[in-house]
Amino acid sequence: MSELPGISAIDRPNSYIGRSVPRPNARRLTEGKGRFTDDLPVTSRTVHVAFLRSPHAHAKIVSIDIEEARAAKGVVLVATGRDIAAVCRPWTGVLTHFPGLKSAPQPALAIDRVVWLGEPVVAVAATTRALAEDAIDLIAVAYDELPSVTDIDAALTPGSTLIHPDLGDNIAFQLKLESGEVDAAFRDAHKIVEDTFFFNRHTAVTLEPRSILADYDASENRLTIHQSTQTPYQMQDIYARHLGLPEANVRVVARDVGGSFGMKLHVYGDEMAAAAMAVMLRRPVKFVADRLESFVSDIHTRSHRVRARMAVNGEGVITAMEVDDVTGVGPFSAYPRTSAVEGNQAVRLMGGPYANRNYRGSLKVVFQNKAMMSQYRAVGHPIACAVTEALVDQAANAIGLDALEIRRRNLLTDDVYPYKSPTGYVFERLSHHQCLAALEEACDYADLRRDQQEARSRGVYRGIGIAAFIEITSPGPAFYGVGGARITAQDGCVMQVDPSGAVRCQVSVTEQGQGTEGIMAQIAASALGVKIDQVRVLTGDTEAAPYGGATWASRGASIGGETVLITGRALREQLLALAAAILQEQAGALDIVDGAVVDVDGGRERITVAELARIAYYRPDTLPPGVQAQMTASRNHVPRGQAFSFTNGIQASHVEVDVETGFVRLLGHWVVEDCGRIINPMLVDEQIRGGVVQGIGAALFEECIYSPEGQLLNGTMADYLVPMAAEMPDIHVGHVSTPTLHTELGAKGAGEAGTAGSASAILNAVNDAIRPLGARLTEIPLTPERILKALGRI
């Protein structure tokens, strides 16, 4: 573990940095009356919303008859798209720093046309959810079905149906990148490997579904929203602007959220409609998406077709790479973060870990009549990693090199940093060679190869897959703010010592189940010099927490943590100044350890922080003249000097493929990653393991299957497969620590590393297993059917 230069408080015996400390003072959903009732009691005034959703992927709305529903038992309001549009104005998911990105204005509820299966059309508010759903059955909507465009090639074909005729075509965004002498490198190559890869849609399936409780107080023109969201301040701005309210009159509360993974970053029409109905009704309105709704309305992810090729010389050195990525994003670009980011990051991360300077990439982001697609855990990373690493394995096979050896010859070396990639990313410091060496030892690579040969002699097909990855974390203001989005890159912290001596730490990053409160408490306790159980962390409330970016892109520890560190350090200096005045001592001769002010020399206790607080709050008259006790500190932090942080690592997967059934058994998985300074090893390890499990889902199980007409065929938990405990291998996690030099804390972020490379490692492992049989797969998930087809068994 690296030391933190210049921060003496971190190096004290009571430092909590680098320790696996359980989360203190965590709120539980079972306390009081539940998450939605912390500040806003749910009474009989609360109405529940259900939505009539489109049964078609593309159709014109001819008529809507809501009269019978209006008269139904318990119904308070029936609202169509035009009703909601009178209160909530539509939005358009574009950013100006993506030149040419376009999308149509999106209303909360469909007005003239529906453009995907499950699009909300009519909202019903009733005294119970059951009565609202009963009323939905009484609504008659006449549709004139239109041709649907679901296939990305069909969407690009001249003369195909246009989802938004005013836009001129079905292309939302295009990007071309080129660096070096690509054509010359391919002309002179010793070997060229190429393939077409297919990545199929899946979705988040969070433990807690999307949910919202909105209450409008007309007497104050004030809207309070309790919502399962990652970004309370982003949503505060959106509700204010689109509902026509002053931003200061909108409060968004997001307590302990039950999982999000990027899916809860985006604006959803049903949630906006619920908020609008609260304004219309002037009473609390509640909506909780059920699982059937979630499958057709939550953001989907990873819909890509990538054609790629790679050139190598006779020594196995990569000399060029060319990529063409087409991604389908549904009928709109998501708001406010857009649906261009995933494809953009995928093509810019292709080949990232390797020293090749000749690169050409192209991207098309395409509209289609499916659920919308946008950011999800490790945005674009698994696509870039899987394509790159599959081609690296193909190149190794083409020239007879071992999978580890070809990577050893091509990975960026330690002496090149800072390094600007051919696609424009600047890597401060990565550690791929150290990670590769640690991985080789951790998995006992030589023994795995011996086991593979022995198993093959018995007719058992085992494979080892390797994947090097780079993870983008901690975006700076050049990521969203520069494009016009009101999404801040900074975080804020207010830290206060209460009269009892307890510490209240209010911070803008939010708790999504990843341990934010625990990590912030560790940093606060270490920086201030108090015990961790003296610190209470408050997050997720725009009324109580300072303004900030909240939780996305693995930014919590690296930006929010740095904010807490500098705030805690400032408060510590204030406490020492107060103690020095009381004790008639020099502040530099004093320190704070375990909640007490002590002498730097010898460690003799002089006064407790609790006693300092008692004097400051209740007996300030005893302080020397001119001394004012400052028991609160407030600071903000924003990344400067870089657009992103980058973490890195290597993963390995060991699998066995049953060539008779097509089933894959995971025998073991290893990750060695570098997230900079590790604050809480237990939480980091479990973040990595959780990310690996999501990658396993993408590799083997999860897929949103659509018919050519745009009907989702497996939108239930009975049909949509997710990995479960029985499918999990032992996941071994190791670390290399290369702290970023851009912050004093040195953390880079760890939330997406496991997801970034795990599917790629599994894909390579399965192909390694069946290579003796002349089979190869380039489409995930690797279902038994696809494996058997590749083997020629069906």
Q: Rounded to an integer, what distance in angstroms lies between the CA atom of residue 289 and that of residue 707?
A: 24
Percent of the chain with pLDDT over 70: 95
Mean pLDDT (whole number) for 221-242:
98
Give the Å distances, CA to CA, from 24 to 21, 37, 261, 500, 594.
8, 22, 23, 18, 16
Collapsed DSSP state (helix, strand, coil) of residue 482: helix
pLDDT grade for 671, boundaries at 50, 70 and 90: very high
Mean pLDDT (whole number) for 87-114:
97
Q: Each residue of 723-751: pLDDT tens digit?
A: 999 999 999 999 999 999 999 999 999 99
pLDDT given for residue 396 in this prediction = 98
Mean pLDDT (whole number) for 317-339:
98
pLDDT given for residue 109 in this prediction = 98
Both tokens of 426, joined, read: 């600047």
Which residues, in sequence order, are bridge partners of residue 398? Answer: none
CB under 8 Å to 638, separation ≥6 — which residues? 476, 477, 488, 489, 490, 491, 559
pLDDT, mean over the chain: 94
- For the cut 90, the answer to whether the pLDDT of residue 676 exceeds it is yes
Both tokens of 483, joined, read: 């494009």
Which residues, in sequence order, are bridge partners of residue 602? Answer: none
Q: Each residue of 468-526: pLDDT tens digit?
A: 999 999 998 878 888 889 999 999 999 999 999 999 999 999 999 999 999 999 999 99
Sequential DSSP letters for 550-615: -S-TT-IIIIIIHHHHHHHHHHHHHHHHHHHHHHT--GGGEEEETTEEEETTT--EEEEHHHHHHH
Using the Cα atoms of residue 437, residue 442, residue 445 and residue 446 in order, give the sign of their dihedral.
positive
Number of H helices, E strands in the chain: 19, 31
Q: Each residue of 752-794: pLDDT tens digit?
A: 999 999 999 999 999 999 999 999 999 999 999 999 999 999 9
Give the Å distances, CA to CA, from 189 to 312, 317, 375, 390, 405.
6, 10, 36, 18, 19
Q: Each residue of 26-35: pLDDT tens digit?
A: 332 233 232 3
- For the cut 60, the answer to whether the pLDDT of residue 1 exceeds it is no
Neighbour count for residue 607 (Cβ, 10 Å): 16
pLDDT grade for 4, boundaries at 50, 70 and 90: very low
Q: Each residue of 687-716: pLDDT tens digit?
A: 999 999 999 999 999 999 999 999 999 999
Radius of gyration of the chain (CA): 28
Sequential DSSP letters for 245-268: --GGGEEEE--S-S--TTGGGS--
Peptide bond into 781 cis (omega under 30): yes
Among candidate residues 62, 48, 58, the one with its CA nearest the CA of residue 140: 62
Mean pLDDT (whole number) for 194-199:
98
Peptide bond into 147 cis (omega under 30): no
- For the cut 70, the answer to whether the pLDDT of residue 384 exceeds it is yes
pLDDT given for residue 25 in this prediction = 39
pTM over the 0.75 mark = yes
Among candidate residues 617, 620, 594, 619, the one with its CA nearest the CA of residue 607: 594
Give the Å distances, CA to CA, from 553 to 230, 263, 639, 749.
11, 12, 13, 8
pLDDT grade for 14, boundaries at 50, 70 and 90: low
More confident: 226 or 36: 226
Q: Rounded to an integer, what distance in angstroms lies between the CA atom of residue 175 and that of residue 790?
A: 33
CB under 8 Å to 358, separation ≥6 — which residues? 179, 180, 181, 182, 184, 185, 311, 319, 320, 321, 422
- For the cut 70, the answer to whether the pLDDT of residue 3 exceeds it is no
Q: Give the side-chain half-sphere CA count within 13 A for 316.
A: 20
Rounded to the nearest 10 degrees, the angle between the axes of helix 562-583 and helix 516-528 is: 30
- Do 684 and 473 form a contact (C-beta atoms < 8 A)? no
pLDDT given for residue 304 in this prediction = 98
Which residues, in sequence order, are bridge partners of residue 537? Answer: 505
pLDDT given for residue 518 in this prediction = 95
pLDDT given for residue 15 in this prediction = 66
Q: Rounded to an integer, what distance in angstroms lies between the CA atom of residue 722 and that of residue 486?
A: 35
pLDDT given for residue 16 in this prediction = 67
Question: Could you identify the residue written with the tokens 């107080």?
Answer: 217
- Do 756 and 472 form a contact (C-beta atoms < 8 A)? no
pLDDT grade for 642, boundaries at 50, 70 and 90: confident
pLDDT grade for 640, boundaries at 50, 70 and 90: confident
Mean pLDDT (whole number) for 62-68:
98
